[in-house]
Structure 1
Amino acid sequence: MLVQVCLYFYCKCLWRCLKFVVRKLTGRCELQRICYNIKPGASRTMKIETSLKGSKTKLLQTEVSVHPDAIEKTIDDIMDLKKINPDINPQLGVSLQGCLLQIVGYRNLIAEVEKLRREPYDSDNSQHEEMLLKLWKCLKPNSPLEARISKQWCEIGFQGDDPKTDFRGMGLLGLYNLLYFAELDTVVAQQVLFDSLQPKYRQVMIEAWEKVSSDQSYSSCSYSFAIVGINITDLVYNLLVSGALKTHFYNVAPEAPTLSHFQQTFCYLMHEFHKFWIEEDPLDIMEFNRVREKFHKRIIKQLQNPDMALCPHFAASESLINM
């Protein structure tokens, strides 16, 4: 253990010495070299984030968690600390600002998403109820809902006659995502729903509902639109919290990633999982976890590419831009 610690500090010291030598040779600090030599996007922002977090200066370490309104002052502080003349290096400030907006925005997005996930669905809340009824209207515009408590909810992939019980795991986040998909990419959402109701999958859904009633661990493991939507919400949430989505968001959001970016990613993954499920052609619901895990690994692998953008031209994204 002592040898490992000594080796760690030796490597760290060697690395700092190397950076010092490079700065003397180039006349530029590490932040300058990153901003000038790496194109905008995930590669640049992630290297800036690593550089700030790994700095021996406490001020730089804390810059990744400042308030968005304090970013401009933060840039000034960095320039002063590094003795960089902003008049001679005007582009550096712009580049650093863009990176910090993404870094701070990602952290704030996690907090916003977590807040929605922790808020339970409340049937006494008129806003929650309005969103739920709107979801039905978007997916089944030609089929009026006969009653708030109704077996009709199973037609869009909920377990029983009251959808509120299905939002337990992901809270309001699951409903927000489903409604976003149904509203902003209605054609695709309705097609996914239609496919899930075909005879080939109908028995799968029935078995899933029966399994859910006897085993809570399978509460979202079925090929039914709403339940899978909540399950994919869980997948996107975990990708976000783990940091895996930094690659995607830093490439598609020129500034701070927002809840809309998160929901667009959900729409894309919902659509991709639907295609993946059909390609895998599982025998029954018991294969759901296998298919989901295989899909998850594929997305993780894609996100390891620093140039990856999961859905740069996805319909929901285009709709948002045109709003």
Structure 2
Amino acid sequence: MLGYIWQYLYSSLFRLWLKWFLRQITGKCELQRICDGYRQGVARTSRRLLQQTLRTAIDVEESGLEQRVTAIMAEKNIRSEKDPMFKTNLKVCLLQINGYRKLYLYVEDLRKQVFESEKKEHEELLLKLWDLLMPSVKLQSRITKQWGDIGFQGDDPKTDFRGMGMLGLTNLVFFSARYTELSRQVLSHANHPKLGYSYAIVGINLTEMAYSLLKSGALKPHFYNTVDGSPSLEHFHQLYCYLAYEFDKFWIEEEPASIMEFNLYRERFHEKVKMLLGEPDVSLSLKLTS
């Protein structure tokens, strides 16, 4: 026990001495050395000291970031004239760390919103999805078996949104509105007689995948590398588009024997995405092949 305490004290004192020594040599504190020594993105923002230093700044509004950064600089005795980029670099890191948590809260709130047929905006969004994917086909009625043509399970799609709420619908609509031709192409693959799958149901399932990755923090590397500031809901939607497009390619390339193997291939795809998120330069951005 005494040996463990002594080892802990020794290592702590050594770290303090090393920090002091490096500051004397470089003229910069550890925060400055991190901002200078690591490139912008996950390599910099994920550093433990930076996360710890900014932990007390969580939930600071963007309007108050300037004051928070100024306070940190005063506390660390950092002068802008000697390190003009530090303030900008620190602010970006603060925006990324704070923004990721806010994005999760916003996504969680959208997920908890139940689809309600009584709400006009919900109904309009659902009908917009149909019009985007099936522009030449008119719905016979609001509740109809036609919904199965775009991959819903029953005659009324609202029952399929129970798990992901309005988040599932907004992702589907975003993909169809932003990448209309591509979404129709993916839908045509989903309706393949042999390799087909339920387009809307799989889309909601991929929303759950994106949500769970966000909740666990696994998406931090992607957002830190691709968003120069606070990630927004649109960035989350763009990630969903990447998953929808890449899963479609993955499914076709793997050629499953039947839709009954969906869970198996869904898990394989999930593992593939998690492996990519472990790479330092990860960027899960939609790249369309010509």
TM-score (norm 2): 0.93
Identity %: 48
| Residues in 1 aligned to 2:74 and 2:57: alpha-carbon distance in whole angstroms | 14
| Residues in 1 aligned to 2:225 and 2:41: alpha-carbon distance in whole angstroms | 5
Displacement of 1:103 in angstroms is 1.1
Cα distance 1:5–1:195, how it changes in 2: closer, same or farther (>3 A)?
A: farther
User: Is 1:257 aligned to residue 231 of structure 2?
Assistant: yes
- Tell me the equivalent position of 1:43: 43
User: Is 1:100 aligned to residue 94 of structure 2?
Assistant: yes
User: Is 1:145 aligned to residue 139 of structure 2?
Assistant: yes
Q: Choose the corresponding residue for 2:50, options 52, 55, 59.
A: 52
2:51–2:97: 8 Å Cα contact kept in structure 1?
Answer: no
User: Is 1:226 aligned to residue 200 of structure 2?
Assistant: yes
- Tell me the equivalent position of 1:211: none
Q: Choose the corresponding residue for 2:242, options 244, 258, 268.
A: 268
Q: Choose the corresponding residue for 1:86, options 76, 80, 85.
A: 80
Displacement of 1:91 in angstroms is 1.1
Cα distance 1:52–1:45, how it changes in 2: closer, same or farther (>3 A)?
A: closer
- Tell me the equivalent position of 2:212: 238
**CA deviations over 1:31-76 (Å, ceiling 9, x no partner):** 11111122222211212xx213445xxxx54024423221111110
| Residues in 2 aligned to 1:279 and 1:189: alpha-carbon distance in whole angstroms | 18
Amino acid at match of 1:105: G
- Tell me the equivalent position of 1:28: 28
Displacement of 1:283 in angstroms is 1.6
User: Is 1:191 aligned to residue 185 of structure 2?
Assistant: yes
Displacement of 1:293 in angstroms is 1.2
Amino acid at match of 1:146: Q
**CA deviations over 1:80-106 (Å, ceiling 9, x no partner):** 000011232221101111111111111
Partner SS, residue 138 of structure 2: coil
Partner SS, residue 85 of structure 2: helix
**CA deviations over 1:189-247 (Å, ceiling 9, x no partner):** 10111111121145xxxxxxxxxxxxxxxxxxxx2110000000000111111111111
1:148–1:162: 8 Å Cα contact kept in structure 2?
Answer: yes
Amino acid at match of 2:86: L
Cα distance 1:31–1:153, how it changes in 2: closer, same or farther (>3 A)?
A: same
| Residues in 2 aligned to 1:266 and 1:127: alpha-carbon distance in whole angstroms | 22
1:156–1:226: 8 Å Cα contact kept in structure 2?
Answer: yes
Partner SS, residue 132 of structure 2: helix
Amino acid at match of 2:136: N
Partner SS, residue 46 of structure 2: helix
Partner SS, residue 81 of structure 2: coil
- Structure 2: give runs of 5+ residues left out of the alignment: none
Cα distance 1:162–1:9, how it changes in 2: closer, same or farther (>3 A)?
A: farther
Aligned 1:59-74 pairs, distance under 5 A: 60-74=54-68
1:68–1:104: 8 Å Cα contact kept in structure 2?
Answer: no
Displacement of 1:142 in angstroms is 0.4
**CA deviations over 1:174-196 (Å, ceiling 9, x no partner):** 00000000110011110111111
| Displacement over 3 Å in runs of 4+ | 1-17, 52-55, 312-315
| Residues in 2 aligned to 1:7 and 1:153: alpha-carbon distance in whole angstroms | 66
Displacement of 1:161 in angstroms is 0.4
Amino acid at match of 2:40: P
1:42–1:246: 8 Å Cα contact kept in structure 2?
Answer: yes
Amino acid at match of 1:63: A
| Residues in 2 aligned to 1:139 and 1:2: alpha-carbon distance in whole angstroms | 70
| Residues in 1 aligned to 2:220 and 2:207: alpha-carbon distance in whole angstroms | 17
| Residues in 2 aligned to 1:7 and 1:237: alpha-carbon distance in whole angstroms | 42
2:195–2:252: 8 Å Cα contact kept in structure 1?
Answer: no
| Residues in 1 aligned to 2:52 and 2:98: alpha-carbon distance in whole angstroms | 16
TM-score (norm 1): 0.84
Displacement of 1:6 in angstroms is 7.7
Cα distance 1:16–1:224, how it changes in 2: closer, same or farther (>3 A)?
A: farther
| Residues in 2 aligned to 1:294 and 1:6: alpha-carbon distance in whole angstroms | 47
1:251–1:307: 8 Å Cα contact kept in structure 2?
Answer: yes
2:112–2:164: 8 Å Cα contact kept in structure 1?
Answer: yes
| Residues in 1 aligned to 2:192 and 2:113: alpha-carbon distance in whole angstroms | 34
- Tell me the equivalent position of 2:279: 305
User: Is 1:178 aligned to residue 172 of structure 2?
Assistant: yes
